[in-house]
């Protein structure tokens, strides 16, 4: 195993991830990479750190980001609470909280340390919300991905000896054909709907007291007004 082979395998994995074809995926503007040089070398995570292998993986991520125009963040190990190393400009434009620490091979990991030294103006941040992630050695990067993560199968499943997992993300699906709704929230046939609570505002009807025949199911309704968006409650009333 050579650092060149690790670099090439990492570039292949990143390229596969970026080119994943599935409808609705977020464009990759920020990629998070987690990696264990110990696992790449065939050892156990946290016990066989090899700086040169972490450096090859970091260089692959940095080169891909520079060539293809996205930002990249590298996850530190648990000793630094899985903080991330990224360029200051990328962190500041997203409003991420910067913390004061410099990763070391035994406190942060070889990957994060090499990434720090390969960046122009590196900083550490507490957390991010990345559009995609590459996990080399099963280091657990899910906490730094946007919801909803979508697993991506790559053309390779190892970098060195390390198992790899990859994900893109997509916006959350709210409603739609497969959404389920409680039957009680469906308006019964012949029912009418009346605004309750609050007073008359900009033509909105004023509510009155609830009767025993009114079903106490309240729904939220928003409508614009000169003073901003107003919230009303509505109740389903059986005829």
- Judgement on whether residues 76 and 34 belong to the same structural domain of the protein: yes
> What's residue 179's pLDDT?
75
Q: Is 72 helix (H, G, I), strand (E, B) or coil?
A: strand
List the domain range (segments joined by +) for residue 104: 3-169
Mean predicted confidence (pLDDT) in 206-224? 48
- Judgement on whether residues 163 and 201 belong to the same structural domain of the protein: no
Kindly indicate the confidence band of residue 146, based on its pLDDT and cuts at 50, 70 and 90. very high
Residue 204 confidence (pLDDT) above 50: no
Domain assignment of residue 98, yes or no:
yes
User: Domain with 159 in it: what CATH number?
Assistant: 3.40.50.10360
- Judgement on whether residues 95 and 210 belong to the same structural domain of the protein: no
Kindly indicate the confidence band of residue 148, based on its pLDDT and cuts at 50, 70 and 90. very high
- Judgement on whether residues 112 and 215 belong to the same structural domain of the protein: no
> What's residue 224's pLDDT?
55
- Judgement on whether residues 108 and 164 belong to the same structural domain of the protein: yes
Average pLDDT, the chain: 83
Residue 81 confidence (pLDDT) above 80: yes
Mean predicted confidence (pLDDT) in 105-117? 95
- Judgement on whether residues 72 and 104 belong to the same structural domain of the protein: yes
Domain assignment of residue 103, yes or no:
yes
- Judgement on whether residues 165 and 212 belong to the same structural domain of the protein: no
> What's residue 189's pLDDT?
54
> Could you give the number of structural domains in the chain?
2
- Judgement on whether residues 164 and 201 belong to the same structural domain of the protein: no
Kindly indicate the confidence band of residue 174, based on its pLDDT and cuts at 50, 70 and 90. confident
β 71-75/30-35 pair status: parallel
> What's residue 142's pLDDT?
93
From CA 93, how far away is CA 75, in angstroms rounded? 19
Domain assignment of residue 133, yes or no:
yes
- Judgement on whether residues 52 and 157 belong to the same structural domain of the protein: yes
- Judgement on whether residues 47 and 72 belong to the same structural domain of the protein: yes
Residue after which a domain boundary falls, among 169, 195, 224: 169
The enclosing H or E element of 73 equals strand 71-75
Residue 2 confidence (pLDDT) above 70: yes
- Judgement on whether residues 14 and 96 belong to the same structural domain of the protein: yes
> What's residue 124's pLDDT?
98
Q: Is 22 exposed, middle or buried (0-12, 13-18, 19+ CB in 10 A)?
A: exposed
- Judgement on whether residues 76 and 134 belong to the same structural domain of the protein: yes
pTM, to two decimals:
0.73
From CA 139, how far away is CA 37, in angstroms rounded? 11
Residue 153 confidence (pLDDT) above 90: yes
């Amino acid at each position: 195993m050579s650092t060149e082979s690790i670099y090439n395998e990492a570039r292949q994995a990143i390229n596969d991830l970026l080119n994943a074809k599935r409808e609705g995926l977020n464009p990759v503007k920020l990629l998070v990479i987690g990696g264990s040089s110990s696992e790449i070398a065939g050892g156990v995570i946290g016990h066989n750190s090899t700086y040169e292998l972490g450096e090859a993986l970091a260089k692959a991520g940095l080169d891909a980001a520079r060539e293809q125009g996205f930002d990249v963040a590298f996850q530190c190990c648990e000793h630094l609470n899985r903080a991330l190393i990224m360029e200051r400009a990328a962190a500041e434009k997203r409003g991420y909280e910067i913390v004061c620490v410099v990763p070391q091979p035994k406190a942060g990991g070889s990957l994060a340390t090499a990434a720090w030294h390969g960046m122009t103006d590196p900083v550490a941040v507490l957390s991010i919300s990345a559009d995609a992630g590459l996990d080399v050695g099963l280091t657990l990067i899910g906490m730094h991905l946007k919801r909803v993560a979508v697993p991506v199968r790559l053309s390779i499943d190892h970098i060195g000896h390390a198992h790899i997992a990859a994900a893109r993300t997509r916006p959350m699906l709210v409603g739609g054909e497969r959404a389920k709704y409680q039957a009680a929230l469906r308006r019964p046939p012949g029912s009418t709907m009346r605004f309750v609570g609050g007073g008359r505002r900009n033509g909105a009807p004023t509510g009155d007291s609830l009767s025993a025949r009114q079903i106490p199911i309240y729904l939220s309704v928003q409508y614009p007004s000169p003073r901003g968006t107003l919230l009303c409650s509505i109740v389903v009333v059986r005829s």
